[in-house]
Amino acid sequence: MSAGWLVEKLWAAVCQPTASRERSARMTGVPGVHTVADLYSRGMSRSAIEHACRTGRIVRVRRGVYCERAAWEASASSSALRHAIEVWAAILALGRRGWASGYSAALLLGLPVPKGQPEGVEISLPQRFHGRRGYRGMRVRTASVAKGDVFVLRGVPMTVPARTSLDITRNHGFPAGLIVADAALRNDVVRPGELDEMVEGMKGWRKSSQMRLVAEHASRTRESPGESFSYAVFVIAEFPLPECNAWVVGEGHGGVRSDFLWRRHRLVGEVDGHLKYRDPLWGPPERVLLDEKKRQMRIEEAGFVVVRWTPAEAVNEPGAVLHRIVRQSTIAARMFGVPCISMP
């Protein structure tokens, strides 16, 4: 499944009229996933079901819910497809109307999730669950949704990308929500202004101030979770906000952009992730490193000071990153006679 196909499918689903979305919401179900009742209706007895499990014809996903072996094996190469099976099985096990939310929805939507997330399956229900509360590998929340906040993709009902980013903000904080919102805007699955409209409809909700921050600062210009998290650090610290992925040298082919640019301070910030040095698509590591050095030289020759940090530093040592930026800004001030960035 190509990324382009997914974006096209998402955009069509999110932008279709509400009535059409409500009709599609009834067309749910992941092919190959069945409840015990479904298997009984197909003429299978309890002993036949047990035999099918032992021989590997079906896989037990959750108590009372099974998946055909072919569908289970076909999902092995895609974390999103496998999670769709697990989410649908969880909804069937609950026996109530629900939808994937939080990091489960983000994974199904192809949006970035932190390593180790989601921890199990995240499901939201429209009303508080008064029955059994403890389900293995399942987190059940209660949430209200407006018309159009839920749609169906991969056969699973889930929150739309804008609502997903705001739910993640409420449950995991502003930086986490900004990462997902930036990616959704960058992939054209959230339309301009949609986050503002959704936040307006969620006034008075828990952590509504953080949701407003996400709507205010979300941008398609940041190209990685490391950049989004770093920008969130600047916002939280009330640090001077830079331009994101702005041209520093020339424009277009042959030009150089920077992750962050404090133009007035003659300072460039670079989030130095490790992927480009390990991914063979970027080329041999030694060539990538040489190209990066040449790129930095061009930035410095254009009259800027460069400061670097890693995504891990932004997450674990945000104060150290801010102090490093201030120190490099001091150097730029001495070299070029420009104002110096100071700590708030």
pLDDT tens sequence across 215-268 = 999 999 999 999 999 999 999 999 999 999 999 998 878 789 999 999 999 999
The whole-number pLDDT of residue 103 equals 98
Q: How many domains does the chain have?
A: 2
Q: Which residue, among 294, 234, 283, has the nearest Cα to 260 in the 3D structure?
A: 234
Give per-residue burial for 189-209: e unless 16+ CB within 10 Å, then b.
bbeeebbeebbeebeeeebee
The residue out of 217, 243, 258 marking a domain boundary is: 217
The reply to whether 204 and 257 lie within a common domain is: no
State residue 255's pLDDT score. 85
Whether residue 213 lies inside any domain: the answer is yes
Per-residue pLDDT, 292: 81
pLDDT band, residue 100 (cuts 50/70/90): very high
State residue 295's pLDDT score.
86
Question: 3-class DSSP state for residue 218?
Answer: coil
CA atoms lying within 13 Å on the CB side of residue 324? 16
> Residue 118: is the preceding peptide bond cis (ω within 30°)?
yes
Q: Average model confidence (pLDDT) for the chain? A: 88
Predicted confidence at residue 88, as pLDDT, reads: 97
In degrees and rounded to multiples of 5, residue 92 shows phi and psi of: -65, -40
**pLDDT greater than 80 at residue 11:** no
Q: For 47, list phi and psi in degrees, rounded to 5.
A: -65, -35
CATH number at residue 263: 3.40.960.10
Q: Which one is predicted more confidently, 20 or 148?
A: 148
For residue 5, is pLDDT > 50? Answer: no
Q: Do 82 and 210 belong together in one domain?
A: yes
Listed ranges 199-208, 216-225, 291-300; the one with the highest mean pLDDT: 216-225
266 phi-psi bin (left φ>0, alpha ψ -120 to 50, beta other): left
- The reply to whether 157 and 279 lie within a common domain is no
CB 136 within 8 A of CB 127: no
**Do 191 and 233 share a structural domain?**
no
- Structure-model confidence comparison of residues 35 and 28, the more confident one: 35
What per-residue confidence (pLDDT) applies to 203? 86
| Pair (307, 269) in one structural domain | yes
Categorize the per-residue pLDDT at 280 as very low, low, confident or very high, splitting at 50, 70 and 90: low
Output the pLDDT for position 19. Answer: 45
Both tokens assigned to 162: 């804008």
Q: Please name the residue that has the structure tokens 């499901």.
A: 123
Q: 260 has which bridge partners?
A: 244, 269
Host H or E run for residue 191: none
Q: Could you tell me where the DSSP H helices lie in the chain?
A: 3-15, 18-25, 36-41, 46-55, 69-74, 79-94, 102-109, 161-172, 174-186, 194-200, 208-217, 225-236, 275-278, 285-301, 311-316, 318-336
Q: Are residues 198 and 258 in the same domain?
A: no
Does residue 1 register a pLDDT over 70? no
- What is the average pLDDT across 115-124? 93
Q: Is residue 134 part of a domain?
A: yes
Residues 178 and 231 in one domain: no
Give the DSSP per-residue string, 28-92.
---TTEEEHHHHHHTT--HHHHHHHHHHTSEEEEETTEEEEHHHHHHGGG-HHHHHHHHHHHHHH
pLDDT value of position 87: 97
Instruction: List C-alpha distances in Å: 165 to 139, 174, 179, 183, 208.
Output: 17, 10, 8, 10, 13
> Domain check: are 11 and 85 in the same one?
yes
- Domain extent for 269: 225-336
The pLDDT, as a whole number, for residue 252 is 78
Q: Which of these ranges, 124-133, 208-217, 272-281, 324-333, has the smallest mean pLDDT?
A: 272-281
- The SS3 assignment for 283 reads coil
- How many Cα neighbours within 13 Å face the side chain of 328? 20
Whether 193 and 236 share a structural domain: no
The count of residues in the chain is: 344
**pLDDT at 3 exceeding the cut of 70:** no
Residues 8 and 143 in one domain: yes
* Amino acid at residue number 93: A
Same domain, residue pair 136 and 187: yes
Determine, yes or no, domain membership for 37: no
Give 152's DSSP letter: E
Same domain, 196 and 287: no
Alpha-carbon distance 15 to 324, whole Å? Answer: 44
